[in-house]
Structure 1
């Protein structure tokens, strides 16, 4: 199993555990809404990163010289996804609790980072989606 796949999958497992913990916290009457954080940890942290890891590993070769495509793009996807997710997990409940420009800006930055992660992963994976 390639290094990047192992990193994506292990990171996904950590986010899965965190999402489950936030699911438990949702049953408590917290002063701020944790539901958006729960959804983002589950969907982007667990599911998306698990999918990214498996796709990077299992999709057809890009070429003989670059079997999995351009690794720097996948590292960018990994870094941007996780930085964006961590920023969102911090800023979203804070913005809901006490709206201000700082938390709003952090939310916007987190969204752009997650978008960039998706674009980087698509750019690397697109050429691997082929008949043979």
Structure 2
């Protein structure tokens, strides 16, 4: 398993654990008194679960399992995958930090952090698509087999 795949999958597990913890805290906030910012964490929960867990697991496994580009560089230009990984995870961290700050002070300067989060996650997603696109291909049929069929 390539290192980038391991990082994506481990980051997915961390985000999954954080999303489950947030789900528990969000539900507990209706029963016990918790800090006010917990009410703002519902969008964070969904981002950690969908982008942090599901999307990163898919990215990691597809990076590992999709057909090779060529023999010299089977996974293509891996730096795009690494930059994608960093952008998505820094974007998620910005979301986790920014959402409660904006909830507590809606007119603050903290709103920029949510914009940065969205931009980073979008860039990460697009870089991943650019990186993996060349590996989405059908089965190659040797020309000799085509001639035999005819």
Report the TM-score range of the alignment, normalised by the length of the smaller protein: over 0.9
TM-score by length of 1: 0.95
- Whether the 8 Å contact between 1:37 and 1:93 is mirrored in structure 2 is no
Q: What's the TM-score, normalizing by structure 2?
A: 0.84
> Which residue is equivalent to 2:8?
8
Contact 1:77/1:118 (<8 A) preserved: yes
3-state DSSP class of the match of 2:28? coil
**Structure 1 residues 41-98: Cα deviation after superposition (integer angstroms, max 9, x where no partner):** 1111111111110010001111122111111000000000000000011101211221
Please give the alpha-carbon distance, in whole angstroms, between the structure 1 residues aligned to 2:59 and 2:109. Answer: 31
Query: Could you tell me which residue of structure 2 aligns to residue 25 of structure 1?
Result: 25
1:59 aligns with 2:66: yes
| Structure 2: unaligned runs, 5 residues or longer | 140-150
Report the count of equivalent residues: 132
Q: What are the ranges of 5 or more consecutive residues in structure 1 without an aligned counterpart?
A: none
Cα RMSD (Å):
1.1
Measure, in 2, the Cα distance between the counterparts of 1:101 and 1:49.
31
Task: Quote the Cα distance in structure 1 between the aligned partners of 2:109 and 2:70.
Answer: 44
State the 4+ residue runs in structure 1 displaced beyond 4 angstroms. Answer: none
